[in-house]
Amino acid sequence: MRTGVRHRSVRRQGGRMIRPLGWAMAAALLALSAVGPAVVGAASPPQPTYGSATVDGATGDWDLGADVFANMTDAGKPTKPVIAHLYLRYDCDSGTLFALVLGKDGTQFMQTRPENAYIRIDGVGKAVSGLSGNDGTPPDFSWVNPDGTLADGFEASAPVAPGDHTVRAHVLRPDNSSDGYQSVDNIDQGAPLTLECAKPTATPTATPTPTGEVEPTATPTSKPTSGVEQATGTPKVTLPPTATTDTGEPPTASLSMVFLGLGLVIAGALVLLDKPKLAAGRRRR
């Protein structure tokens, strides 16, 4: 019987557990819906890594893991497979954006169409292209592993001011179409780009201290307003004597009274407790 009772009680407890769990799940969903927008809003803006690079066609000074900024596909369509990557760096000191476009899995691009290898900022013109040359002053351009017809990609630099921008990387790859090529862009052909640089802190201007001589200001001495000389020193004040009450009874006498009172209370209590016993004894007699 005890086993059955326990089984029924466990089932009742199990039945009650369903509602608290339901309420807990609902509360968790509400919490996630409240926190979700805040988490999304707190996401970092699309920034490049910060630093410089040498535009010489060599990729050894790039970090192909940390510097990747966007994927590149045919015509920049997100449904197409990724065939290249766009890498970005920004140098705040010189205000220069450095870019590297590098094919993936052996994909190469048309070196013979340099005007179609470019970086575009804010959807206007070409910040740098295969026609920009390379003289050490941005904009600069250099092919990566070129053979005169094809290249693995390109490296470039261009002056860009800090702030919010869009960036598009564009290049052509050969294919079997009637045109003989396919355009390759970063996805959506205009990725958001935020360039953040710390603003210099203004140095406060010190106020010059006058070097001329300044006459000291005389401190006026207070004088009595009447012919009576002012009194100095602290006056003596005699306080009235404090009255003390003498009870004439030492402290031990008051303590004796307290103990006497407690003894009387205890004796009375014992008498009251013994009365029922005395009454019971009389009945028995």
Which pLDDT score, from 0 to 100, does residue 199 have?
74
Q: How many domains does the chain have?
A: 1
Q: Is residue 271 part of a domain?
A: no
Residue 172 lies in a domain: yes
pLDDT reported for residue 216: 53
Q: Report residues of the chain scoring pLDDT below 70.
A: 1-44, 200-260, 263, 265, 267-285
pLDDT at 10: 41
Q: Is 106 within 8 Å of 150 (Cβ atoms)? A: no
CA distances from 186 to 20, 126, 192 (A): 50, 15, 11
8 Å CB contact between 186 and 77 = no
Give the CA count within 13 Å in the CB-facing half-sphere of 279.
6
pTM of the model: 0.59
pLDDT of residue 198: 86
Q: Is residue 282 part of a domain?
A: no
| pLDDT tens per residue across span 90-120 | 999 999 999 999 999 999 999 999 999 999 9
Instruction: Report if residue 37 sits inside a domain.
Output: no
Buried residues in 8-43 as b, exposed as e (16+ CB within 10 A): eeeeeeeeeeeeeeeeeeeeeeeeeeeeeeeeeeee
Pairwise CA distance, residues 118 & 189, whole Å: 12
Per residue, the 3-state secondary structure of 138-167, as one string, reads CCEEEEECCCCCEECEEEEEEECCCEEEEE
**Structural domain includes residue 30:** no
Q: What is the pLDDT of residue 70?
A: 97
Determine, yes or no, domain membership for 258: no
**According to the model, what pLDDT value does residue 45 have?**
78
Q: Distance between CA 214 and CA 237 in Å, rounded?
A: 48
Question: pLDDT value at position 266?
Answer: 72
Residue 231 confidence (pLDDT): 47
**Residue type for 43, please?**
A
Closest CA to 50 of 88, 18, 100: 88
Q: What is the pLDDT of residue 245?
A: 43
Please indicate, yes or no, if residue 163 is contained in any of the structural domains. Answer: yes
Q: What is the pLDDT of residues 111-162, one digit of tens each?
A: 999 999 999 999 999 999 999 999 999 999 999 999 999 999 999 999 999 9
Q: Residue 245 domain-assigned?
A: no
Residue 102, domain extent: 49-195
